[in-house]
Structures are given as structure tokens and as C-alpha cells.
Structure 1
Amino acid sequence: MTRFLLSCLLFLSMTLSAQIELGTGSTEVGEAPISTYYGYSYVQQIFTKQEVNANAAGNITGLKFYLDPTLSIANSSEWVVYLGHTTKTSFTSDTDWIPLSELTQVFSGTVTNANGVVEITFATPFAYNNTSNLVIAAEENSAGYDDNLYDEAMYVYPGAQNSTLYYKNDYTNPDPASPPSSDGNLVNFKSVVSILGLAPNPIPACPLITYPANNATFVPLSPTITWNNSSGATSYKVSIGTTPGGTDVANQVSVATNSYTPTTPFTPNTLLYLKITAVGTGGESSGCTELMFTSAPPPPANDECATATTLTVNPDLNCTTVTSGYTIGATDSGTVPDPCYGTPDDDVWYKFVATATTHKISLLNIQSVGTNPDDTDTYFQVFSGGCGALSSIFCSDPPSGLVTGLTVGETYWVRVYSYSDTGSNQSFDICIGTLPAPPANDECFGALAATTFPYTYAQNDGGGATNNAGMITACSNEMNDGTWFTFVGDGDTFNITVTTPAGSDFDSQIGVYSGSCNGLSCEDTVDDTGQGQAETVSIPTLSGNTYYVNVGHYSGWSDELEGTFSINITKGVLATSDVQATKNTIKLYPNPFTDVLNISDAANVKSVAISDISGRLMKVIDNPGSELRLGELKQGMYLVTLMMKDGSKQTIKTIKK
């Protein structure tokens, strides 16, 4: 009797303590299992059978999710949770929701943050078959949101491509029975979670390598290789070779944590193969995928001013000739950036001989190649005088800029560096372009006449346009004076579309006016997309009325360079599919500013956070108006982060004079 009782108690203890932990150790935050930073959300996540790695089929009795113990979810506490089986390993699109009919509701109620844990216990366990992939879905029905330092609160960890699909909104509470057909978001992370009730397989699952990515290039010569923790793993084995399956670089090196840095730096420009297996009490994982990557090239030869690479000056703005470069492996040349900004700890140097008094310098095809995978923020500075007596003449945080006041025949130096410090590096192509002469339709009075339709014109010399009339202010959304076209209305609707070449940095705006060049009257204007994208506007016309079309840079406060584009004018009402979607890009102006910074579309901004250049939070403004009054800030550079109501976030560098 005693032996039987002890056996029962042991079985009960093992059952109660059985759980599978996924993503442990990560403190990154994101929108899973719910969004805490928005009023409502619905999130679906797919955990593969291999990742769950249960010892056998069994009952899931509950879930634990994790967050910082100090954060509040008081306004994000009404949860409904569903589980289900699926054959999908990922979502194929932002509308690829798993039907509610394939899910089982396992919880509905109020949750709390109990010392960093949100624990949900199911009234009825969910029977997991251990043959399918597991779906965890959750909706959050509280109307409010928790700002928590203006970010999400729930811990997430890197997952497979498109393993989570979420929707969040301050005003619309999504219905899981009919998920939103737009505004879904695909992401590559999943919530840190403990699955209660399932016994883990004593042989752990293969870990997911989070750095480097498969087929990655520019991997540092002494990288920190990282991977997700595998449930039940007590250690890991790392193998690296120069051939598939090879171990000549690292031969099953035992590692107790989920990261590894090679003891000897890699050989530059070498294709390498990497495999990581997990070791548990029952053995080690098998069949783990091997990925390959290429180590970084040697330090750039143009690391110093004295070894600057000579650039070819293009005769136009088409960048037919570019020079490829990279900052990884470069060292600080010791030249202070003042009056420019950024951290030139990885600067590389170029030089060119001016063939005109004005040249456009462009950084193209910028890619992040450092350990910060999303940082493509490059900076360049132009000098005159030579390496022994450098004199700064131009600074540019944007990837292109117009350098004026040059002397033909003189040599100028350009240094390029990543704006941020350690871990931020980029590869790029650099181009020196030459402006064409002002085009024939540079002024309204010289507008090209469209007389037959459809009308098409390729403006290959748009970069030569001058802001001769200043800003065009006839419409409330002001713009640069660019190039001009005109047509006579016949009572039909005229559709004007402007397209730019692939890779263009021209952010165009279309303005349409009636009246005369001396007295323009606004008909309509459009600036719905970003650089390199198309703009379309439709104008109902009056028969016999003359209309003027200006295609210029969108800015109404700063004279910026136009670019190459094509204009197409057709007649008739456009189909719905031809209408451009509104972009989320918000503009701040003037920049630099004195005391007041204006937001171009404040109605779509939820809150504004202002930080100094070191990242220290200076001020937060909820539900801002169109004017930000910032007179109390000292002179200098600031990061203005706009939290949008559609869930996106945008950070813009500004300078207070």
C-alpha cells in the first residue's frame, strides 16, 4: 500500500511539474502573445512540433508568459486564449489567419503580472497530439493601453520567418471569427512561453541559430554566434568548417550557454559552415540544419585619409560608375566630426577631383553588415585642403547631398562612417554625380504642353531644376518649385502619375494649379509615398480651363534636389486598384528648428518621445498637436521618435539651433 501510494505521489508530482520552456532568457519585447501598447490586439503564433519537442502526446493544462516584473498590464488584462493544431510552419501573408473553427478556446478572463509572470490555467486541458504544430492565439479586449516606457511589455524571442501574425489597433477590437483583412503584421519572433502539462523529450530539439543568418555576408572575424535555448538542453556543441559538414575551424566545441565566440579569428572572405546541436539528459539532438556564411573581408585599404580611394566623377546623375565600400573592420582615423555629427569610429576615405562647382554625392545600396542587423544609418563628411590640413565643407546624414561652392580641378576628400558606435557597420556604393543644366521646363512660364493623351514625358534632366520661384505655396501642403507641365481641360478627369527609376532618392510631390503662372490657384496636390515611389493625382477639369502641373521635391521648407522621373497623363476615372495607398512617413519641420518643431500629420501620431543623442529620454508628449514647443531644450541634436496610431514607429534626427 505504501509503495503504491509513493508511486502515485511521484507520478502526480511529475505531472504537475511537467512543462516545456521556449525562449527562456530573452528580455526583448514585442506584440506576442498580445500587444500591451495598443487598445486591442489579436495575435496568432505557430510553434512547430520540433520546437515544442514533447516526449509524447498529452494534455496542456496552462501557459505562462513573461515580462518585466515592474511593468503594468492593468489596461491590457482582458484575455481570451485559443490553442489549436496546424500543418502550417509559418504564415504566408498578413491575412493568412488560421480559422477560429480550427482553434479551441481554453481561457477567458483577467490576467495579472505576478512578479514577471502571466500564468493561465485551463479549466479544461487541451489535448496536444504531438504530431502537428501548435497554434497559440490570444485576443486582448481592454480598451486602454499601458505605455510602459512607450513600448510593448511582453518578452519575445527570435523565431522562424513569419512565425507570428498580429493585428493591433487603439479603436477597432478585432473579431477572431473574422480576422482583419488588412493591417496584419508578420514578424519573426514569438512569445517566451512555458507550456504546462507536457513532459519534455529528454533529447532536446535542435536550437534555432539567431546569428549569423543563413547565407550572411560580412560576418565579423570574431563574431558572437547566438542561438535560442532548447528546452531541456544542458549544453550545446558547436561545429564550424570550411566544407559542408567540416569541423576544421571548431570541432564540436562544448558550450554551456547559448552563445559562442571563436578562440581564433576567422580567415577573411571565407565561406564557412556552421552546425549547433543541443545536449540533454537523454542524448543530443540529431538532424540539425547546417547553415553557411561568409566572413568579413580584410580591413578596408582606405581606412585612413592618406590611403583614400579615388572616385570617378559621373558626367550626370545616373551613377553609371560607382565604387563599392564598407566600414566593417575600419578604425577611427582620429579626425573629429565637428561640425558634423555621429561616431566616426569606422570611417573610410575617398577623394575626387571636381569637374563642376556643384556635385551630388550619393551612398547607394546601403546594407547593414555589423552585429546590429537593422542599422543602415550612414553619414558622410566632405573636406577640402588635403589630409594634412582638412577643412570640413559639408555634412550629410541623408544618404545623398548636394555639395556646392567647389573649385573645378581641386581635389576633395569624402569620409563615410556609420552614425552609431560599436556594432554598427554598413556596406554601400558611393557615387559622385554632376548636375545637368536647368531643363527647358524649369519655370512655370516654360511649362511643356501636353496636347495629346495619354501623354508621357521622361524628365531625365530633372536634377537640374532650380527653385527659382521659391516654395510653391498655393496649396496648404507647400512644395519645391520643380519642373512644369500644362494642359487644357475638356471637362473630363485628368490623371497625373509620376514614377521614378528603381533606387531613386527623389521623393516627389505633384501640385496641380489653375489660374496663371503669376497667380496660381490650388486644384490639388499629392505626396502619399516616399522616395523612389510613384505618385498619382486625379483632377476633374473644366472645359477650356488651363492647368499647370509642378513636379518637385516634397519639402515646403527646404530646397532639395529633384531627380529623374517620368510623367504620364491620362483621362478618365481611375479604378480603385490604381489609387495609391497613403504612406506612414511623417515629416518634421523646420529642421534645424529654433523653438517650435512642426509635425506634418499630427492626427496619426499617438505620442512623441524626445531623446538626446545618447538616447537619454528628455520629454514625452502624448496626443501631440501639429506644433511641438521645445524652447526649453538646449542647442544640439535630438532624436524625435513618433509612435504612430497604426502601430509603426519612426525616429527622426533633428537639430535645435
Structure 2
Amino acid sequence: MTKFLLSCFLFIGMTLSAQINLGTGSTDVGVAPISTYYGYSYVQQIFTKQEINANAAGNITGLKFYIDPSFSISNSSQWVVYLGQTTKTSFTSDVDWVPLAQLTQVYSGTVTNANGVIEVTFATPFPYNNTSNLVVAAEENSAGYDNNDYEEAMYVYPGAQNSTIYYKNDYTDPDPASPPTSGNLVDYKSVITIEGLAPNPIPGCPVITYPSNNATFVPLTSTINWNNSSGATSYKVSIGTSPGGTDVANQVSVTTNSFTPSTPFAPGVNHYIKVVAVGTGGESAGCTEVMFTSAPPQPTNDECVTAITLTVNPDLNCGTVTSGYTIGATDSGTLPDPCYGNPDDDVWFKFVAAATSQKISLLNVEAVGTNTWDTSANFQVFSGGCGALSSILCVDSSSGIVSGLTVGETYLIRVYSYDDAGSHQSFDICVGTLPPPPANDDCFGALAATVIPYTYVQSDGAGATNNAGMITACSNEMNDGTWFSFVGDGDTFNITVTMPTGSDFDPQIGVYSGSCSSLSCEDTVDSAGEGGTETLSIPTLPGNTYYVNVGHYSGWSDEMEGPFTINISKNALGTSEVKADKNSIKLYPNPFNDVLNISDAANVKSVSVSDVSGRLVKVIDNPGSALYLGELKQGMYLITLIMKDGSKQTIKTIKK
């Protein structure tokens, strides 16, 4: 009897203490299992069988999630939690939700932050078969949000690609039975404790989080990182230059979840990594390799005197581009003044001017340094030779027009990452030639739409000049672009402007009456962003002439127009044609002195200002149309607009 009772007590004790911990130690924050920084959210996560590594099938009795003990979840406490089993290892798209019919509701109620732990206990245990992957879904449906340091609060850890899909919004409470069609995919998961399952005494294979499989441009001196495996006491790391190879590292034993090889990787070579976890029950088996390609050798165009010659394209189609990269480059010693940034990794190109103005573009820019988020590649154009450089253009965006060139003269371009060590980019560079000014460059040369419906493809819009300066007849001013005209007949005319795929042209439509020398505003529209469609309907008077300007939206900066198609009709427009979603809000002027203006502040919930290192400098809740930033030092800043619909937009600005 005594032995029987003792056995019972031991069994009960083991059952009560059985739990599996994943992501322990991480204090990164994210939207999982819910969003604390938005009013409502719905999140699904996939934890693989390999990662869970349970000893056997069993009942999950609850979950624990983790958060800073000092943070509040008073406005994020109404949770509904679901569990499910799936063969999916990740989500394939932003609509690839696991259907609610495949999930079981295991909890509904109010949760609390108990010294950094949010515990959810199930009334009915969930049976886990230990053969499928586990889906953890959570809906947070209490209105309001918790402003914890102006950021999400739940602890997350790096996971496999697209481990989590989420939706968050301040006003729309998502329905798990009909998930939103605009989810977001991320590569992290909740730090989590799965209660009721006993861990396998043999730890599971670690998930390598850096570098990712098939990564390229991995720095020659890099640290390999992986997630902790439950029950692991150490790890063995092998790295080779062939599958299964160990010529770089041969089962090196480490007790942390990172490893830095003693010598740099060979440049431009494929490498293969395998990490095996070691526990009291043995070593993990069947662990797969991750393959990556190390960064290439030092660029041949690291110095001005070895600049690579670029082909000048006869148009703006960038039919010929030259590839380049800044990783491995050194500082040439040329100060950026009057440009900004740190050219400690500059590479050099040159071209022979074919026209007095050329468009220079950086295409397919990708982050290839340890700062995997940083795609901020700048370029600077010089006249003169390497020994007598004179800066003539600074560009901190994807393209710029350099004017005042002498045909036949050679000019130099250097490309560099704006930021410091760890920030590098790969890119394609293109030099294009602008078309001559189009026939309808001026209002007096407006193309007449004599037959309605009227359609015209403006393929040479890039050659338009801002010959009349800004068009100020309407309160929303704009660039002088290309011009059209039509004669009213008492009906309503509809003007629609569309851009080709991939266009970066952000147009505005202005419609005016009167005369070219004395324009009177009828209406204007700028409701879409780069490449978006603009539509405007104008009631007309019989016999009255109307002038249509299609130009860059800015009323403070002369920017290049792009190709577009204009359609003028009198038919009733469908709802989809009338409605245009603004996917970009403007900040102006840029660069700015002390005040930065927001074009549509009514839709902005808050603004955060960060320096280029990512350090938060200032937060402004419920901003007005003017941001007063006079206290900032000169330099570049990242302005993040947090919208009321749950979206975010980050814009790079310069404080003069």
C-alpha cells in the first residue's frame, strides 16, 4: 500500500510539474500572442513538433506567456485562446490563416500580468498527439491599448520564417471565423511555456536563427545564433565548405546558443552549418544543415582611382545596370560634406555624360550587413578627377537627377551606407537619360481632348520641366507637370491617371478654369501614393475650357514626373474607381529646419522620432499637422507614423 501511494504521489507530482519552455531568456517584444499596443488583435503561431520535443503525446493543461513585470495589460486583457494541430510548418501568405474549424477554443476570459507571467489555464485539457505541429491562436478583443514605452510588450524570440501571422487594429475587432485578408507575417514567436507535456530527455534539434538558410553576403566575421533547445546542457557546432564538412569547425562544444569561429570565413564561398543539442538523455538526432554564402572579396572599386565605368542608358528604362556592394569596402577618406552619412564603406563608379542632365538610380537595394534591416544606401556625384573632387549632388533616396553636366565629361559617383559599422548594401546602379520636354510641357501647349472618352499615354513625362514653378491656384499646391484640356458640356467629366507597374511616380491631378496665364482652381486630388491611381470628377459648364495638370504632388520640392496614362470620360465611375487608398503620407519640407509638417495628421495616432542607430529620441501622441523638432541636432532621423488604422509608415528625414 505504501509503495502504491508513493508511486501515485510521484506520478501526480511529475504530471503537475510537466512543462516545456520555448524561447526562454529572450526579452525582444512583438505581436504574439496578442498586440498590447493596438485595440484589437488576432494572432496565430506555429510551434513545430521538433521544437516542442515532447516525450510523448499528452494533454496540454495551460500556457504561460511572458512580459516585463512593470508593464500594464489593463486594456489588453480580454483573451480568447485556441489550439489546433496542423501539418503546416509556417504560413505561406498573409491570408494563410488556419481555419477556425480546425481549432479548439481552450480559454476565454480576463488575464493578468503576475510578475511578468501571463498564465492561461484550460478548463478542459487539450490532447496533443505529438505527431503534428501545434497552432496557438489568440484573440484580444477589449477596446483600448496599453502604451508601454510606445511599443508592443509581449516577449518573443526568433523563429523560422513566417512562424506567425497577425492582424492588429484600433477600431476593427477581427473575427477568427472569418480572418482578415490583410495579415502580417513575421519570423518570431511567443516566449511560451506549454504545461502538461513532459519534455523528451533527448533535446530537439536547435533552430538556427542566423544566418538563415540560403543567406548571401554573410559577413566574414559572423556569430552563428540558434534558439535554445529545451533540456539542452550544451551544443556541438560543425561548419564546413561542403555538405557535411567540418573543415571550419568540427563539433565544437559550447554552452551558450551562439558561436563565433576563430578565423574569418573564406570570402564568396558556400558554407554549411549543423548544430546538435546535447542533454542528459543524449544528443539530438537528424538535425539539418543550414547553407549560406559568405560575403564576397573586398570590392575592386573600393577607391576612387579604381572606379567602375557605367554604361549610360539612352532612356530611363535601365536596360543596362551594374551590380555592386559596399560590404568589405573601406573608407576612402573623402568627407561627405555637404552630404550626410558615414561613407566608411564607399565604392566608386564613373560615367561619361551623354546629356546635360542624367538620372542615377539605385535598384534592388538589399541589406547585406549585420544590420539586416538597413537598406539606406546613399550616393554622391562629383565633378573633377579623383584628386580634385567637387560635390554636385547628394541623394539619400533611390534616385536623383544630376543637372548642369557637360556632355563628354567624366563624372564620379560614390555609393555608401548612411549608417556606421554593420550597415552595408548590395544594389544595381543605373545611369539613365531623360527624354526631351514633351509637347504638352506647358499649359499653353496642353493636348486637347476633343473626343471623349479620351486616352493618352504620357511615356515622356520624365522630361517635363517645372517651367511655371509650383501651381498655386488650389490650396493644395503641386508641381507643374504635363497639361491637357477639354471643353465642358454641362456634364460631369471624370479624369483618371494610372501608372505602369513598378512606378515610383506619385502624381497629383489639378483641374483649372480661366486661362493659362490666370488659372482658377476647380479641384485637385492627391489621395494615392507612389504608383497609385488618382481619380477626379469635375462638374462642367457648357463651352467652358478646363485645363488638367498631371504633376508630382509636391508643392515645395521640384521632383521628376514619370510615365502615366490619362483617361477622360463622362461615364459614371464604379466605387472601386472612385475610392483610392492613400498608402503614403507626406512629411515636408525635407530637409527641414525646426518644423516638419504632416500632410494628413488626422489619421496619425502617434509619431516616434529615432536616430539612424534606431535609438528612440522623441514620441508625440495625437500630433497636429506641425511637428516642432527644433531641439534635434543636425543629421538624419527616422520618423515613424503610427496610423489609427493599425499601419505604420517610416520616413527618412534630414534636420538641417
Matches within 5 A, 1:6-405: 6-176=6-176, 178-405=177-404
2:497 and 2:566 in contact (8 A); partners too: yes
Correspondence for 1:539: 537
C-alpha separation between the residues in 1 aligned to 2:172 and 2:94? 17
Question: 2:240·2:246 contact (CA, 8 Å) conserved in 1?
Answer: yes
Task: Give the counterpart letter for 1:280 in structure 2.
Answer: G
Give the counterpart letter for 2:318 in structure 1: C
Check the 8 A contact 1:169/1:646 in 2, yes or no: yes
- Given residue 367 of structure 1, which amino acid in structure 2 is its aligned partner? E
- Counterpart CA distance in 1 for 2:239 and 2:453 is 60
- Mapped partners of 2:38, 2:20: distance in 1: 29
- Aligned pair in 2 of structure 1 residues 646, 508: CA closer, same or farther (>3 Å)? same
Segment of structure 1 superposing worse, 144-153 or 627-636: 627-636
Identity %: 78
2:48, 2:133 within 8 Å by CA — same for their partners in 1? yes
SS at match of 1:148: coil
Specify whether residues 570 and 231 from structure 1 end up closer, same or farther in structure 2 by C-alpha distance, changes over 3 A only. Answer: farther
One-letter identity of the residue aligned with 1:198: L
Q: What is the CA distance between 1:377 and its match in structure 2?
A: 0.9
* C-alpha deviation, 1:424, in angstroms: 1.3
Residues 459 and 566 of structure 1 are in contact (CA less than 8 Å); yes or no, is this contact kept in structure 2?
yes
- The answer on whether the counterparts of 2:235 and 2:277 sit within 8 Å (CA) in structure 1 is yes
Shift of 1:244: 3.2
In 2, the alpha carbon distance for the partners of 1:164 and 1:264 equals 36
Amino acid at match of 2:564: F
- Distance change in 2, residues 1:249/1:180 (3 Å): same
Conserved 8 A contact 1:501-1:564: no
Change (3 A) 1:634 1:129: closer
Report which stretch shifted further, 543-552 or 463-472: 543-552
- Cα distance change on mapping 1:248 and 1:566 into 2, 3 Å: farther
Moved more, 624-633 or 28-37: 624-633
Residue in structure 1 matched with residue 498 of structure 2 by the alignment? 498
Conserved 8 A contact 2:170-2:646? no
Using the alignment, how far apart are the partners of 1:524 and 1:430 within structure 2? 39
Does the Cα contact within 8 Å between 2:45 and 2:163 map onto a contact in 1? yes
More displaced 10-residue stretch of structure 1: 194-203 or 450-459? 450-459
Cα distance in 1 for partners of 2:513, 2:203 equals 72
Output the amino acid matched with 1:652: I
Give the superposition deviation at 1:330. Answer: 0.7
Residue 83 of structure 1 contacts residue 103 of structure 1 at CA under 8 Å; is this kept in 2?
yes
Q: How much has 1:31 moved relative to structure 2?
A: 0.7
Alignment of 1:429-444 (within 5 A): 429-444=428-443
Which of 289-298 and 517-526 deviates more?
Answer: 517-526
1:301, distance to aligned residue in structure 2 (A) = 0.9
Q: Who is 2:412 aligned against?
A: 413
Find the aligned partners of 1:236 and 1:455 in 2 and give their Cα distance: 70
Cα displacement (A) at 1:257: 2.2
Q: 1:87–1:655: structure 2 CA closer, same or farther, 3 Å change rule? A: closer
The structure-2 alpha-carbon separation of the partners of 1:613 and 1:137, relative to structure 1 and needing over 3 Å to count, comes to closer
**What one-letter code is carried by the residue in structure 2 that aligns with 1:448?**
L
Deviation at 1:528, TM superposition (A): 4.0
Counterpart CA distance in 2 for 1:528 and 1:206 is 50
Question: CA shift at 1:559, angstroms?
Answer: 0.4
* Cα offset, 1:544, TM superposition: 5.1
Can you list the C-alpha shifts for 1:341-375, whole angstroms capped at 9, x where unaligned? 11212111122333433322211111111122222
2:478 aligns to what? 479
Q: TM-score, normalised by structure 2?
A: 0.92
User: In the superposition, relative to structure 1, how do residues 520 and 206 fare at CA in structure 2: closer, same or farther (>3 Å)?
Assistant: farther
Distance 1:87 1:167 in 2: 22
CA 1:546–1:385: 2 relative to 1, 3 Å: same
**Aligned AA (1:251):** N
Report the Cα offset of residue 592 of structure 1: 2.5
Q: 2:38, 2:170 within 8 Å by CA — same for their partners in 1?
A: yes
CA distance 1:464–1:546, change in 2 (3 Å)? same
Q: 2:617, 2:162 → 1: CA distance?
A: 35
1:189 Cα deviation after fit: 1.9
Deviation at 1:251, TM superposition (A): 3.2
Aligned length: 654
Q: What secondary structure, in the 3-state scheme, does the structure 2 residue paired with 1:51 have?
A: helix
CA distance in 1, matches of 2:352, 2:538: 51
Secondary structure of the corresponding residue to residue 150 of structure 1? coil
> 2 CA distance for matches of 1:163 and 1:580?
34
Structure 1 residue identity aligned to 2:121 = T
- In the TM superposition, residue 235 of structure 1 has moved relative to its aligned partner by 2.6
Residue 302 of structure 1 and its aligned partner are, at CA, apart by 1.0
For residues 282 and 571 of structure 1, the distance between their equivalents in structure 2, rounded to whole angstroms, comes to 78
Distance across 2 between alignment mates of 1:493 and 1:168: 39
Q: CA deviation at 1:140?
A: 2.0
CA shift, 1:54, in A, is 1.2
Structure 1: how far apart are the matches of 2:205 and 2:562? 50
> Residues 292 and 487 of structure 1: is their aligned pair in 2 closer, same or farther, counting only changes over 3 Å?
farther
RMSD: 2.7
Hey, what's the Cα distance between the residues in 2 that align with 1:306 and 1:463? 33
Q: How far off its partner does 1:537 sit?
A: 1.1
- How far apart are 1:5 and its partner, in Å? 4.0
Q: 1:45 to 1:521 in 2, by over 3 A?
A: farther
CA distance in 1, matches of 2:472, 2:357: 27
Q: Distance in 2 between matches of 1:296 and 1:616?
A: 28
Q: Alpha-carbon deviations, 1:551-571, whole Å to 9, x = none?
A: 221212100112233444556
Distance 1:376 1:352, change over 3 A: same
Q: Which moved more, 1:156-165 or 1:56-65?
A: 156-165
Residue identity in the other structure for 2:19: Q
Q: Measure how far apart 1:634 and its partner are.
A: 5.0
Question: What is the CA–CA distance in structure 2 between the aligned matches of 1:514 and 1:498, rounded to whole Å?
Answer: 23
- Unpaired runs of 5+ residues, structure 2, are none
Aligned-partner residue type, residue 341 of structure 1: Y
Contact 2:174–2:180, Cα closer than 8 Å, also in 1: no
**Displacement, 1:514?**
4.2
How far is the alpha carbon of 1:307 from its aligned partner?
A: 1.8
Secondary structure, aligned partner of 1:44? strand
Q: Do 1:362 and 1:400's aligned partners in 2 also have CA atoms closer than 8 Å?
A: yes
Structure 1 counterpart SS, 2:14: helix
| Greater mean alpha carbon deviation, residues 44-53 or residues 568-577 | 568-577
For 1:512 and 1:646, locate their aligned partners in 2 and report how far apart those are by CA, in whole Å. 31
Distance between the aligned counterparts of 2:408 and 2:426, measured in 1?
29
Change (3 A) 1:338 1:548: same
1:627 aligns with 626
Instruction: Report the alpha carbon displacement of residue 576 of structure 1 after superposing the two structures with TM.
Output: 4.7
1:174-213, Cα deviation, whole Å (9 max, x unpaired): 343x444344323232111110111012222222222222
User: Partner of 1:414: helix, strand, or coil?
Assistant: strand
Alpha-carbon shift at residue 408 of structure 1 (Å): 3.8
Q: What are the residue-to-residue correspondences of 1:631-642 with 2, within 5 Å?
A: 631-642=630-641
Indicate how the Cα distance of structure 1 residues 318 and 88 shifts in structure 2: closer, same or farther if over 3 A, else same: closer
Gaps in structure 1 of 5+ consecutive residues: none
Match of 2:551 in 1: 552
Q: How big is the shift at 1:281?
A: 2.7
- The aligned amino acid for 2:91 is F
State the distance in 2 between where 1:646 and 1:207 align. Answer: 38
8 Å contact kept, 1:479–1:556: yes
Cα distance in 1 for residues equivalent to 2:277 and 2:455: 62
Deviations 1:485-536 (A, max 9, x none): 233456365352321353x4333333344444334444554434443x2424
Alpha carbons of structure 1 residues 516 and 208: separation in structure 2 relative to 1, 3 Å: farther
Amino acid at match of 2:593: T
Q: Distance in 2 between matches of 1:495 and 1:487?
A: 11
1:577-592 alignment, distance < 5 Å: 581-592=580-591
